[in-house]
Chains A and B, each alone.
Chain A
Amino acid sequence: MSFESRTLAWLRAMLRRRTVDHEMDREIAAHIAMEEDRFKRSGLSHGEAHRQAIIAFGGIEQHKEAVRDERGTRVFGELTIDVRYALRRFRNHPGFAAAVIGVLALGIGATTAMFSAVDAVMLRPLPFPRPQELIALRSIHFPWDMRFFMGGPSRSAAALQPHDPRFPEVAAMHDIFAHVAGFAAGGLNIGDPSGPVRVRVGVVTADFFPTMGVSPVQGRGFTANEGLPDGPRSTVISYGLWQGRYGGRAVVGQPIVLGVKSYIIIGVAPRNFGFPERSELWVPLVVPLDPNIEEPLGRVMSPSDVVARLAPGVSASTAAQHLLLRWEQDAVEGRPPGFKPSATDGVEDVRTHGVMTPLRQNLVGDHGHALILLLGATGMLLLIACANVSHLLLSQATGRRREMAVREVLGATRSRVIRQLLVECTLLSFGGAVLGVALASAITGLLTRLMPPEVIGITPIEIDLRVMAFAIALALCSGIGLGLWPAFGVTSAAPVEAIKSGGARGATASTRLARRVLVGTELALTVTLLISGALLLRSFRDVVERDPGIHPDHVGSLEMAFPIATIKPMDPTIRSSTQLHDIFGLEQQRRRVDEMVDRMEQTLGITAAAAVDNLPLRGNEGQGLEAAFSAAGASPSPRGVTRGARIAKVTADYFHVMGITLLRGRTFGPGDDSLAPRVAVVNRGFAEQYWPGQDPIGHQFGYMERDSNAITVVGIVGDVRDKALDQDPTPQAYFPAHQDSPWAIVALVARGTLSPAQLLKAMQRAVHDVNPAQAVYSVSMMNDVIGLSVAPRRTNAMLLMFFALLALVLAVLGVYSVVAYGVSQRTRELGIRAALGATGNNLLGLVARDIGWSALIGTIAGVAGAWALSRVLASFLYSVSAHDPATFVGVPGWLLLATAVATLLPALRVLRVNPAEVMRAD
């Protein structure tokens, strides 16, 4: 009989155990009846015949067991008995069972939840075909289409082109790459009867879908033709958009208005495909770059993300060597002989950091470290939970030594008794796992905030079979690990002795040592967690308390993107930008923004309003352009070092609304229009960079293709931490909106005395009044914008501290129960001591000493652990030393205090011990 059919027979036997048993009963009954008939025929009485028949058959139950053995269902039968017995015990000791299950659920739940996040972000393969072939390339340069720049290809524009490999050349390296695609994430408004709807857009080069290994479920992907300037405007929509907006009808070939331009839908992406950043539709990225990509991206900026699929049989390292070679050739091309690239040059950068990384690593970045850190923390929490449960079981087990001994004397084998104890533990830990998984699924929503935005939606956090298997494995390991220890202690080779000694009384030396080790371990782990959590929390507080350079209270903000009328290649006869803007209706947009700002300022309760294209602390939402400048009288920059600054164009009241301090000079006024001389306001960092030690007011500079040194500095303002609160302010320059290029993306800000909800509503109304068709997004108070910018740091710190506090509670409970149990076990001994003249203090000292040393040693070990961990922690800290003395002394101090309280509360019971009563008892 084959293995499968045997397994099947066994399974059938298991499932039909009851029916099979019943059939066996019938068969044996028939046998005995026939034997009885035989005896009756030979003349025996009815009763005697029955008796003889049974004697002839032999022990019926014994034979039945033998048959069950043959079927292999006996162990299972015993297992059911064990399970039933265990459940009965739990019913009789509900407090014990609930405590164990609850504590284990905390540990298993926290660990499972963190594992689900790590699994989603780092372990599960990206949901693309052959994901190991996908790599991200560093710093590939996308050339601009020079036809769009003022005055044609100019020397200054050419100077902006770095000596990096260009995208078309890399894409043609077919010997190492099967496909190469550039992509960027942005947003566009879809025209809709009920008002425009903003959707997330992937701007991708023609080869994007083949690179990702994805083919549209309807229609087709982009062709090379669509990736060229002036190619047809086509779009591929997501499955979700197709179902939601079009109800799954045939859409290929239909027009769709995106922004102000009409596109033709050429395909529908497969279900669940939303790369990059949960894109809802894809439009072509043309190479060389067309400034019109500004529209979905909200910026004039070249995309820097390039993904490549390795050619079949080419390893990542071979491809990297080829590519580095290309970098080195390009770096010296057109340079004087003997040229050595400087440290800041692209080629040096890729030499140190590598030319490529696996796509997942590129998407996840440093986010993975935080997750691993938190997973480690939950692992520690689980260990503490196990230590607590272990102690509970140990206390239980000592009390059960007599029961176990009786069972052994009555004929249960030792392995049978151990198995029963293991069944109990496993059942308890499964209970913990079930509750833990429920707990984990409750907090996955919170965990999504820890995810790098680049992978949200690609690999969602979910409690799937893998995660369940993880939880069950945790439960099994902890169940068996926890159960074996007390099981061997409780069962004994000399059961009779155990019964005679009364079993329960007097903890043996080994279990007492075990308790001390448990307490020490719990405290050590808790100290480590608490110190780490406290350091992260202090960092978070320090970051939040950094002066952002703006006064965000009572300031509301909203953002919108403008459909830019197509910018046509430059007509060489047009020399002024105002002329150009009028032709394409861009002035109208400028007027509309002014009108919105005016309307806001006229609203009762709004004191000032302004527009800005670069809202501070909005993350990578498209603003934050860095530009290189040339400045008159500036100290020359070292060769190869690009000195840049973050620039923003603003309306006059911007500094007032945001509360940015004017240090010297003036801010902008209504006079700074397109006819007036060009002016700028800069921050201190900007002045220091170009004119160190000089008064910047009155100095002139220029940038990009504009006439050099045409812009005069008129004011100097305070630094704004516009990138992130934990990054030092960069050089910043502000330009009046009327003297700069038209708005592509604009944030409106307003300061007022209205409540936040009313303020934001009034702002939206003002926009709507001017243009009902204008879509706005990211409507929020500036305080929330700042809050969002520190959200990952806050979530990390809060979660770690939460785990640490849970650990603290468990550890203190552990200490309490160990001491309480110790006192209750030693009542007799303490009574005798009291009778012999020991004072209350003597007794207290005796009890406290028992735990005191292990607590102290555990705490010191924990401090050492935290010290060792600080290297890992350092990258998460801000302005707090990883060896911060206050934390390293304060936290253990508080913990020891808590331990002392947890020790003294139960220990005080010894003072109430009445010697006479104790002596009389048993």
Chain B
Amino acid sequence: MAASDVLQGTLDLLVLKALSLEPMHGWGISQRIQQLSADALNVGQGSLYPALYRLEKKGLIKGAWRTTEHNREAKYYTVSAAGMRVLASEVRDWRRFAGAVELIISAETGR
């Protein structure tokens, strides 16, 4: 199965989730999402950046320049307290939504 593109609007959730595990730079986030989804999701690497900027503007994450283990300069993002709260509620919402979708599509015909 080819990796599917990330559903519109869920990118923020994924980024927040990935960052809540550990502070990371943009490239790391794209790798982590791909890895966590067992290569099922393909995050357009470039499209991460608008999302990162959006989240930073909302105050949900914060960026700071640091050196990677390979001695490169990269901007690392961390989730703020507000970001953690938003993440929790987004996760709740997503579960409710996914559960509802699951219910509908698993309904048996002819009932």
Contacts and interface: CB of A to CB of B under 8 A. Distances in A.
Interface string B53-84: 11001110000000010101111000000000
Find the residue from B28, B47, B49, B59 having the highest chain A CB count within 10 A: B49
B9 interface: no
Contacts of B28: 34
Interface in B15-53: 25-28, 31, 44-47, 49-50, 53
Contacts of A67: 49-50, 53
Contact of A35 (B45, B49, B54, B58): B45
A35 B46 contact: no
Given A1-B58, A70-B54, A26 B47 contact: no
A30 B49 contact: no
Nearest to A63: B46
Contact of B45 (A1, A26, A57, A70): A57
B34 to A, nearest CB: 11
A9 interface: yes
Contact of B27 (A23, A35, A69): A35
Contacts of A58: 44-47
Given A1-B59, A9-B57, A66-B50, A30 B45 contact: no
Interface in A20-72: 23-24, 26-28, 30-31, 33-35, 37-38, 56-60, 62-63, 66-67, 69-71
Contact of B25 (A1, A6, A30): A30
A84 B47 CA distance: 30
A70 B46 contact: no
A70 B68 CA distance: 27
B57 A31 contact: no
Nearest to B31: A38
A59 B27 contact: no
B53 A60 contact: no
In the complex, which of the residues B27, B44, B59 has the most CB atoms of chain A within 10 Å of its own CB atom?
A: B27
Q: Which of B25, B31, B50, B58 has the most CB of A within 10 A?
A: B50
B48 to A, nearest CB: 8
Nearest to A71: B53
Contacts of B74: 27, 30-31, 34
B47 A63 contact: yes
Contacts of A33: 72
Interface in A879-917: none
Given A58-B44, A58-B45, A34 B72 contact: yes
Contact of B68 (A23, A34, A57, A59): A34
Interface in A56-107: 56-60, 62-63, 66-67, 69-71
A33 B28 CA distance: 12
A63 B27 contact: no
Contacts of A71: 53, 57
Contacts of A62: 46
A31 B58 CA distance: 23
Interface in B93-108: none
B53 A31 contact: no
Contact of A59 (B46, B54, B75): B46
A916 to B, nearest CB: 63
B54 to A, nearest CB: 5
Nearest to A10: B57
B72 A30 contact: yes
Contacts of B59: 1
B26 A31 contact: yes
B75 A30 contact: yes
A56 B45 contact: yes
A31 to B, nearest CB: 5
Contacts of A60: 46
For A1, A35, A66, A69, which residue has the most chain B Cβ atoms within 10 angstroms? Answer: A66
Most chain B C-beta atoms within 10 Å of own C-beta, residue among A6, A24, A35, A70: A70
Nearest to A24: B49
A1 to B, nearest CB: 6
A27 B70 contact: no
Nearest to A5: B59
Interface string A833-859: 000000000000000000000000000
Contacts of A28: 46, 49
Given A30-B25, A30-B72, A30-B74, A57 B50 contact: no
Given A34-B68, A70-B57, A26 B46 contact: no
B70 A37 contact: yes
A26 B73 contact: yes
Contacts of B57: 1, 6, 9, 70-71
B54 A31 contact: no
Contacts of B50: 63, 66-67, 69-70
Contacts of B53: 67, 70-71
A6 B46 CA distance: 25
A6 B75 CA distance: 22
A37 B28 CA distance: 13
A70 B75 CA distance: 18
Nearest to B82: A1
B49 A63 contact: yes
B47 A30 contact: no
A10 to B, nearest CB: 9
B27 A30 contact: yes
Given A31-B26, A58-B44, A66 B68 contact: no
A1 B50 CA distance: 18
A693 to B, nearest CB: 98
A218 B58 CA distance: 56
Interface centre among A26, A31, A60, by most chain B C-beta atoms within 10 angstroms, is A31
A33 B68 CA distance: 12
B25 A31 contact: yes
Contacts of B47: 58, 63, 66
A60 B49 CA distance: 11
Contacts of A70: 50, 53-54, 57
Contacts of A23: 75
Contact of A30 (B54, B58, B73): B73
A52 to B, nearest CB: 12
Contacts of A57: 45-46
Residue picked from B44, B57, B72, most chain A C-beta under 10 Å: B57
Interface string A157-180: 000000000000000000000000
Residue from B44, B45, B47, B58 whose CB has the most chain A CB atoms within 10 Å: B45
Contacts of A30: 25-27, 72-75
Nearest to A72: B57
A62 B26 CA distance: 17
Given A63-B50, A67-B53, A31 B73 contact: no
A475 B46 CA distance: 43
A739 B88 CA distance: 108
Nearest to A23: B75
B25 to A, nearest CB: 7
Given A1-B58, A70-B54, A31 B70 contact: no
Nearest to B63: A27
A276 to B, nearest CB: 60
Interface in A246-272: none
A614 to B, nearest CB: 80
Contacts of A27: 26, 49, 74-75
A157 B68 CA distance: 107
Nearest to B57: A9
Contacts of B73: 26, 30
B19 to A, nearest CB: 15
10 contacts: A9-B57, A27-B49, A30-B73, A37-B70, A62-B46, A63-B46, A63-B50, A66-B46, A70-B50, A70-B57
The 6 closest A-B pairs by CB, nearest first: A63-B46, A58-B46, A34-B27, A66-B50, A31-B27, A30-B74
Interface of A: 1, 6, 9, 23-24, 26-28, 30-31, 33-35, 37-38, 56-60, 62-63, 66-67, 69-71
Given A66-B47, A70-B50, 14 more contacts: A1-B58, A26-B75, A27-B75, A28-B46, A30-B25, A30-B27, A31-B25, A31-B45, A34-B25, A34-B70, A57-B45, A62-B46, A63-B50, A67-B50
